[in-house]
A and B are shown apart, each in its own frame.
Chain A
């Protein structure tokens, strides 16, 4: 069991879920602290050394969005929000408001650890400011210097926009990207709600990189939220 350096803050008012999360974290060797209200969370965030926060969106005292907004005023720490299944709009808003990823209740310990791993990986990448010019996921590879995409070691012809889209995903491997965020990064600010153009672009790209577009291995759809390039 590795003893990790990171301190995780678990903000969850449901005792059973909080206990479950803490048990899973303990199994993986993480140190953690808990809070049942936003007030408690904020005071810990201000005074303590927190490296990552798990934040329930349904807290009794404050809207989770408020907590995110406040924390983002002074910290870039990874924030993973926890919410119920029918809260797609809230999840997307939280992500667009500064959260990095989300978990939907009920979730398994495996999903929890996968999200934390991805979040910490990105945190360390930002901290080390080391950039690799070649990244790969499965048989899909990107060369940032040459602006080329490879599939199964063969060069894959992609349009400039498809390249930009893949580059965006490769800079965020394992992390969910909201539709709004992708539209802004690829098309610019004016395309706010035109999801149709993104769906068409994604579909075209999917036909190039996926064996079966309806059973994707690389870019998964997260309904109501956005997309994710998965590693495993």
Chain B
């Protein structure tokens, strides 16, 4: 509201923008923490429904067009609709965390890529979030999904992370029966985060 009342050149606009961004970040972090503790306590019940991957990706990416217009997010999805059983809210949160991470490690005007494909052999959907940053240091790779683990990257934004975003991603994906991994890209600089979601909801009680 304050931003709507001030001219962009007015220094109060920048201050209001900073407050908005910080409040937004704080809100996201609180939500992350709540989901993480609920998942770990086994108290979060996944609401799994068949969802169109393009919708979940679309909503996650749309959250950034408001916040970060200077980064380009490229999305690649299959031509045919891919319906995957998932808790849409939690997978959206997972994608938001991964995209946020990618943006933080990408220089301005750098591209972040979100890609979804079906892996027919293993009957799962494969999601990839890739950036063109400096990549992940070798010593960090085995720890990157641990709670509170933060990497010693340069830049002001590194100070804002408390190391929970990736931990929640791992909890959510594991709860879905999927897997999440990270590695450095082979075709140039940057990191790639890949997670899978099983296409079939494995339920030992009802066997169709």
Q: Is B108 an interface residue, CB under 8 A from the partner? A: no
Using known A-B contacts A86-B31, A204-B81, A213-B54, determine if residue A221 contacts B59 with beta carbons closer than 8 Å: yes
Q: Is B58 an interface residue, CB under 8 A from the partner? A: yes
Q: Is B89 an interface residue, CB under 8 A from the partner? A: yes
Task: Say how far A180's CB is from chain B's closest CB, in angstroms.
Answer: 12
Pick the contact of A223 from B4, B61, B92 — CB < 8 Å? B92
Pick the contact of A203 from B31, B34, B81, B89 — CB < 8 Å? B81
Q: Is A214 an interface residue, CB under 8 A from the partner? A: yes
User: Closest residue of chain B to A221, judged by CB?
Assistant: B55
Chain A interface mostly: helix
A110 to B58, CA, bound (A): 22
Pick the contact of B54 from A85, A106, A108, A214 — CB < 8 Å? A214
Among listed A57-65, A144-152, A192-200, interface-contacting one = A192-200
Per the CB 8 Å criterion, the residue count for chain B at the interface is 27
**Residues of chain A from 83 to 107 with CB closer than 8 A to chain B in the complex:** 85-86, 88-89, 106
Per the CB 8 Å criterion, the residue count for chain A at the interface is 29
User: Closest residue of chain A to B28, judged by CB?
Assistant: A85
Contact between A215 and B1, CB atoms less than 8 A apart: no
Q: Is A224 an interface residue, CB under 8 A from the partner? A: yes
Contact between A109 and B1, CB atoms less than 8 A apart: yes
Among listed B44-52, B99-107, B185-193, interface-contacting one = B44-52
Contact between B52 and A199, CB atoms less than 8 A apart: yes
Pick the contact of B77 from A89, A195, A196, A213 — CB < 8 Å? A213
Q: Is B164 an interface residue, CB under 8 A from the partner? A: no
User: Closest residue of chain A to B81, judged by CB?
Assistant: A203
A200 to B83, CA, bound (A): 8
Task: Give the interface of A toward B (CB within 8 A).
Answer: 20, 23-24, 85-86, 88-89, 106, 108-110, 195-196, 199-200, 202-204, 206-207, 212-216, 220-221, 223-224
3 closest A-B pairs by CB: A203-B81, A221-B55, A109-B1
